[in-house]
Structure 1
Amino acid sequence: MTFSSVALAAVTAMLLAATLIAKLPLRWWWIRACEFPRLQLACAALVTALLSLPLDPPWRWALLASNLLVVVLQARFILPWTRLWPVQVQAAEPGQQERCLTLLIANVLTPNRQASRLIEIIRQHDPDVVLTLESDSWWQERLDQALEEHWPNSVKIPLDNLYGMHLYSRLPLGNTRVEWLIQDDIPSIHTEVTLTSGDRLTLHALHPRPPAPNESEETLWRDAELLLVGKEIHRHPTPTIVAGDLNDVAWSRTTRLFCRISGMLDPRRGRGRYSTFHARYPLLRWPLDHIFTSEHFTLKRLERLPGFGSDHFPILATLCFRPSRSDEHDTPEADGDERAWARQTIREARARDQQT
């Protein structure tokens, strides 16, 4: 047994363990965290498989088979977010611009003070609606000065706990609510947006607590917030957009369940991952900032924008209200067991202490 074979066996064991641990239906943060780096794990397994080829049998075949198994298991989750997969939200046809909405989302990173760079990006792309996350009073002052004239309709929640939110819109807002759905220090915005055409849609802006040692030992409260909003959307199937930093990846157990519970569609499926975090580490990057739509919309544009000093990239989407094309979409749907799991998760989150 050589040192290289032992080293490759150890790496293989870790990759296989991380892959299998992610399948466990448990909410501990370190288990759910294994869902995030699926592409990284698959790439590492592929490299390890290639490095195993020169080894003598039986090490060669055992390590090759184990690593290829990791690649296959991870690919099942990754492929829908590549161009090898059919799109889930159909492409918009030209015209009827008055029925389209351009939305820009930016997690600003509270200590980041490069507001001028974000404002320049906003002005360059001229979205109808701007949603910022982690924005405090300092950010509100800069955003107000730059945006209030042309984006006069707003919802402002300046907080210094990393969960502040600001919504600026040139389109009219109505029936606006700020809610603290699961935890009393985590806000969310729920509002109607009236398009230039007069059509109305519902916008839910979310930023649940992430699963991490310094934030939450479990994903319970994040999961419950997403599933609670998903249930509300299912009960009121109107034209809807959900946007925000969900602190979860697109292919996770919870986010996929949210889509089935709510019937929402992911514009990235069949187009790419559009990874927004971490902006500073290209090899450790995954899609945390999300835009989901109901079947009433088609997609005209989806783009990850340049960085501005935050640990997140902004993301921009133009969605067009096309209810006549709803039947072109394959809307996901939850079964009875999944709906029961969602109800149990929400009840448990509300019953337990709101620990962090």
Structure 2
Amino acid sequence: MSYLYVLILIVPALATALAFLPNSHWSIRSLDFPRVQIAVLCLASLILAALNPPALAGSVLMVIVVNLVALIYQLYKIYPYTRLAKKEVLSNHAPDDDRTLSLLSSNVLTPNRRSDALIALVNQYQPDLLLTLETDQWWQDALHSLETDYPYRVAIPLDNLYGMHLYSRLPLKNTEVLYRVEDDIPSIRSQVILRSGDTIRIYCLHPTPPSPTESETSKPRDAELLLVGKQIRELDETALVFGDLNDVAWSPSTRLFKKVSELLDARIGRGMFNTFHAHYRFLRWPLDHIFQSAEFQIKHMAKLPDIGSDHFPIYAKFQYCPAQEDLHEVETADAEEMAQADEKIAEGHEEVK
């Protein structure tokens, strides 16, 4: 029986330990994603051991202690993304004005045909910016009815699951479609002119995930995120970054991106907003992100209803408050972390050669 307890307890503890390895292979980096699930398994295993106490052989006792440490560590990592933590981005409850900006981001899943569900959400929330991911020519045609209300558009219909469409009610300028790391993975870089006349830089991203069917390692994804982060830091502009980043908020790579870019995450202190996987309740984590510079305060943020995709859409409304940016505490990368970012960018480019 002691061997059975060791087996039950060792699985979540081992998953926790393996995620510490500085290895970019998908089998290791994928363990960054299910921290909530691993924490639940840790807790369930410990409860089982408490309800049915095993003979406390040395190996069993050691594994119980290790599992308890793993549980505490997992809770520590996910705590910032609960409502118990301090909010990183200030709330703004003032009436909407010409410095208010809203956006909706949705990975639609290319074979999904529920365009009506997405259009209904767009009509309900009336976002200023709409980003659709995995959109091919069929989806471009299906969303044609939105074009009257969204006269400014960037269309990249692709059949490789990395198509991207940006719809805007507000004028866009200096728009670029960039293939930063991989030749078939696009991103959008543009500027949005608010109703007040202020100009905001936006970055729309959908890098490849580390997985057996996509990319063997996380290097291309990490390189794209950090390239954008460095550019934001160097330009020192007000910026929004949004899209399906195929990474979770608490992973080392996203944390490094956040420090390099000096952007904020409105989810901290508000909840995880788990957007993937829409079909499996126990297998959910936050893959779709919206990061903003310190000039923004948050008015509303929501995970939206199922549209037939494997991702839920995500919506946010911001207030541009440049005079109050100093009210936010911004994390910044030190020299060692900047060197680490440069190394990861070089590794990502080398990976796809």
TM-score normalized by structure 1? 0.96
Alignment of 1:75 onto 2:72: no
Q: CA deviation at 1:96?
A: 4.8
User: Per-residue CA shift, 1:126-182, capped at 9, x if unaligned?
Assistant: 1111000000000000112x2110111000000000000000010110100000000
Alignment of 1:307 onto 2:309: no
Q: CA deviation at 1:324?
A: 1.4
- Classify the secondary structure of the residue corresponding to 1:191: strand
Q: Is the 8 A contact 1:156 1:165 kept in 2?
A: yes
User: Pairwise mapping of residues 161-200 of structure 1 onto structure 2 (< 5 A)?
Assistant: 161-200=160-199
Q: CA deviation at 1:206?
A: 0.2
Between stretches 279-288 and 341-350, larger displacement belongs to: 341-350
- Give the equivalent residue in structure 1 for 2:4: 7
- Give the equivalent residue in structure 2 for 1:100: 100
Q: Is the 8 A contact 2:5 2:54 kept in 1?
A: no
- Give the equivalent residue in structure 2 for 1:246: 245
- Give the equivalent residue in structure 2 for 1:132: 132
Q: Distance in 2 between matches of 1:245 and 1:267?
A: 16
Q: CA deviation at 1:348?
A: 2.5
Q: Is the 8 A contact 1:49 1:63 kept in 2?
A: no
- Give the equivalent residue in structure 2 for 1:116: 116
Q: Is the 8 A contact 2:82 2:268 kept in 1?
A: yes
Q: CA deviation at 1:69?
A: 0.9
- Give the equivalent residue in structure 1 for 2:216: 217
Structure 2 alignment gaps of length 5 or more: none
Q: Distance in 2 between matches of 1:280 and 1:353?
A: 32
Q: Distance in 2 between matches of 1:225 and 1:96?
A: 34
2:56 to 38, 55, 58: 58
Q: Is the 8 A contact 1:105 1:132 kept in 2?
A: yes
Q: CA deviation at 1:61?
A: 4.2
What letter corresponds to residue 70 of structure 2 in structure 1?
V
Q: Is the 8 A contact 1:180 1:187 kept in 2?
A: yes
Between stretches 156-165 and 191-200, larger displacement belongs to: 191-200
- Classify the secondary structure of the residue corresponding to 2:192: strand
User: Per-residue CA shift, 1:18-54, capped at 9, x if unaligned?
Assistant: 1011111111111110110000000111111011013
Q: CA deviation at 1:277?
A: 0.2
User: Per-residue CA shift, 1:91-150, capped at 9, x if unaligned?
Assistant: 013135210111000000000011111111111111111000000000000112x21101
Q: Is the 8 A contact 1:206 1:243 kept in 2?
A: yes
What is the percentage of aligned positions where both structures have the same residue? Answer: 47
What letter corresponds to residue 288 of structure 1 in structure 2?
L
Q: Distance in 2 between matches of 1:195 and 1:10?
A: 57
Q: Is the 8 A contact 2:220 2:352 kept in 1?
A: no
- Give the equivalent residue in structure 2 for 1:281: 280
Q: Distance in 1 between matches of 2:348 and 2:197?
A: 38
- Classify the secondary structure of the residue corresponding to 1:168: strand
What letter corresponds to residue 132 of structure 1 in structure 2?
T
Q: CA deviation at 1:233?
A: 0.3
Between stretches 245-254 and 49-58, larger displacement belongs to: 49-58
- Classify the secondary structure of the residue corresponding to 1:105: strand
- Classify the secondary structure of the residue corresponding to 1:320: strand
- Give the equivalent residue in structure 2 for 1:202: 201
Q: Distance in 2 between matches of 1:258 and 1:348?
A: 15
Q: Distance in 1 between matches of 2:95 and 2:352?
A: 51
Q: Is the 8 A contact 2:219 2:351 kept in 1?
A: no
What letter corresponds to residue 58 of structure 1 in structure 2?
L
Q: Distance in 1 between matches of 2:40 and 2:5?
A: 14
Q: Is the 8 A contact 1:259 1:332 kept in 2?
A: yes
- Give the equivalent residue in structure 2 for 1:46: 43
Decide whether aligned partners of structure 1 residues 21 and 198 sit closer, same or farther in structure 2, where only a CA change above 3 A counts: same
Residues paired across the two proteins, number: 350
- Give the equivalent residue in structure 1 for 2:147: 148
Q: CA deviation at 1:68?
A: 1.4
Q: Distance in 1 between matches of 2:310 and 2:5?
A: 33
What letter corresponds to residue 32 of structure 2 in structure 1?
E
Q: Could you list the runs of 4 or more consecutive aligned residues of structure 1 that deviate by over 3 angstroms after TM superposition?
A: 59-64, 351-354
Q: Distance in 2 between matches of 1:31 and 1:223?
A: 14
Q: Is the 8 A contact 2:221 2:348 kept in 1?
A: no
Q: Is the 8 A contact 1:52 1:63 kept in 2?
A: no
TM-score normalized by structure 2? 0.97
- Give the equivalent residue in structure 2 for 1:24: 21
- Classify the secondary structure of the residue corresponding to 1:148: helix
Q: Distance in 2 between matches of 1:192 and 1:229?
A: 15
Q: Is the 8 A contact 1:205 1:244 kept in 2?
A: yes
